[in-house]
Structure formats: C-alpha cells, structure tokens
Amino acid sequence: MKRDPQVMISVSTAMMLFAGMASAHATLTPPEAQVGAAYNAVIRIGHGCDGEATHTVRVTIPEGFYNAKPMPKPGWTLKTVRGSYTKPYVSHGVTYEEGAQEIIWSGGSLQDDWYDEFAFLGTFGPELEAGAEFHFPTVQTCDTGQVAWTERSALSDAPAPSVVLAAADESAQATPMHESAMLGDLTLTNTFAFATLPHSPVAGAFLTITNDGETSDKLVSASSPIAGMVQIHEMAMDGDVMKMRELADGLKLPAGETVMLKPGGYHIMLMDLKEPLVEGEAVDITLQFENAGTIALPFGIQSRTRGAGHEMKH
C-alpha cells in the first residue's frame, strides 16, 4: 500500500492545530451526558479577550436543562436570571415550573494567560433527543472587548460549549436502580430494593448517600405508601450471630463522606407490606434528613441475590 507522506503530514498538522484551538476555546466537561439525567457542567475559559483580562462570564441555560444551580466562585459576584419553562418538569415528585435561564459570574479578573472553571448543576429533560449536541452559549466580557462563544458549529471560530447527549439508560428504566438525585449537599445514587419472597411482609431497600457539605447530616426516617412501617437498620454481630437492629437515632452522614446502604450492611427496612415487591417495578420511598430535608425517590426492584444476609429474623 502506498501512502502520500504529504497527506499524512497535513492531517497530523491539522489535528495538532485543532487540538490547540479546542483547548483555547470555552469548553464544557464532561463531554457526555444522559437524556433525563443530572449533569454537573464545568465550563473552562482558556484565555481573555485579545489579551485583556475577563471580568464577566455569562452562560445561557437553554430550554431542556432545568433546575440549574450555579457554583459560587470566590472573588466573583454570582447572579442568575430566572424565568418560566415552556413546559414544567417533574422529577422525583417535585414540579419545576421556572428556574435559572442565565448565570452570570462578574467582578472577577481572569488574566489572559490564566484559565478558570465555572460550574453549575442541572438536569437534562427527558424529552431531549439522544445523539444531539446541547449547547450552553457563553459570553466572556473584558474591559473593552468580549468573546461570544455562541456558534452552534464545532468548526466555527467561536463554538458554544456543548455536550453530546446519550440515550437514557434503558436497562435502568426497566429496573430504575441508577436513579440519582441531589438534595441540598447530599447526592443520592444507586437506589434499589429487593423483591419480596412469597408471603414475606418485609423487604430491604438500599442506596448510596454522599454528603458534599461541610456539616454532617443524618437520615432520620423513611416512609413508603406500600409499607405500614419503615425503619433504618444496621447489621451487627451479636456474639457469633449477625443480626439486624434499628438505628433509632438515625444513620449518620459525616461531612465529605459517602455512606452506602447495601445488603449485609445498613439498609432501609420496609415492614408490614401492603403488597409484594415485584421484580422490574419500583417502590417509592420518602427519605427524611435532619438538615437536607425530605425527598421521595423510586427504588427499582431487583430479584434477591442469595446470601444477601436478609433472611434473618427480627
């Protein structure tokens, strides 16, 4: 096979140029997100306006990305412009009719030869098309000039920061065990419950809780429409026997730590069940935290795995 060395050189030069350009643009990470899922956006500003320092960064939050919450930055004043969504969003039992449509960080001074990151959280609507790019038009302003990263084409001189949307995880929809939600400083992920055995009045439910705050919190109680009583349990050795017992004071969530509720460990115990838990369905459980408040989440129901340690008597 014969190759033209001239072509190879020009391709690699183009790639180098493109990589150089890309890093100088206003970029968005992570580069992929999921339809209907939460997204932690970070916009990186890589240079000023023609040598000038940037004092304001303004990000437009288009329809389709809701419940946007910016992260404050030391040395910058944070402001949002709020407005109504064309169509309300419902997530985990909460209706969102309006929210931030613009986020403005101002009063800073980001020199041309420095870079910085501007972050916000939010959720992509379930109606968005998988495979599409979602753009967050961004304008950086300096004393005399500005750069508008608002073009929709990645090949333009000033492309808007964008992210590629992947399809919602269908296996997760069938068994929604990858639900995740934010509540105050808490991130709640990987919710699931075990299907009940025939005639069993109890079932275990599990999730992972990360406390990103600077103060500890506590899971104080839980409830579910299908359970007469819900308790928070731990598994502990009593002599040689592993037993479960209620955490009457709740489950502590230390600041900056992740606590996993999992088979054989901490769990939420659904008792006095009014109906069986069927594999592939979901059960709604409301969690109440001491500081973060209350949230209702669906827990996808999976078949019980053997040796999960849930055969024990109360």
282 sits near Cu ion (criterion: CB under 5 A)? no
Distances (CA, A) of 243 to 6, 66, 265: 73, 44, 10
Q: Which is nearer to Cu ion, 76 or 192 (CB)?
A: 192
Stretch that binds Cu ion, among 108-116, 128-136, 225-233, 290-298 (CB under 5 A): 225-233
131 Cβ contact partners less than 8 Å away, ≥ 6 residues apart: 164, 165, 166, 167
Nearest-approach distance from CB 92 to Cu ion, in angstroms: 24
Coil/strand/helix, residue 174: helix
Binding of Cu ion by 269 (CB under 5 A): yes
- Segment interacting with Cu ion, rule: CB under 5 A, options 24-32, 40-48, 226-234, 295-303: 226-234
> Contact letters (x/-) for Cu ion, 15-34, by CB under 5 A?
--------------------
Q: Give the length of the chain.
A: 314
Closest to 85 in 3D by CA, of 68, 98, 94, 95: 98
Total interface residues for Cu ion by CB under 5 A: 3
* Residue 163 or 209 having the CB closest to Cu ion: 209
Shortest distance, position 241 Cβ to Cu ion, whole Å:
14
Which one of the spans 3-11, 54-62, 119-127, 264-272 is the region binding Cu ion (CB under 5 A)? 264-272
Give the shortest CB-263-to-Cu ion separation in angstroms: 10
Residue with tokens 């800073």: 108
Residues 6 or more apart whose Cβ sits within 8 Å of residue 1? none
Task: Name which position in 244, 273, 282, 283 contacts Cu ion (CB under 5 A).
Answer: 244
Residue with Cβ nearer Cu ion (214 or 249): 249
Nearer to Cu ion, 141 or 231 (CB): 231
Are 123 and 89 within 8 A, CB to CB?
yes
The structure tokens listed for 211 are 């406390």
Give the three-class secondary structure for 248: coil
Work out the number of other CB atoms within 10 angstroms of the CB of residue 179.
20
Contact in structure between 31 and 161 (CB atoms under 8 Å)? no
Query: Which one among 137, 233, 298, 300 touches Cu ion, defined by CB under 5 A?
Result: 233
Interacting residues toward Cu ion by CB under 5 A = 233, 244, 269
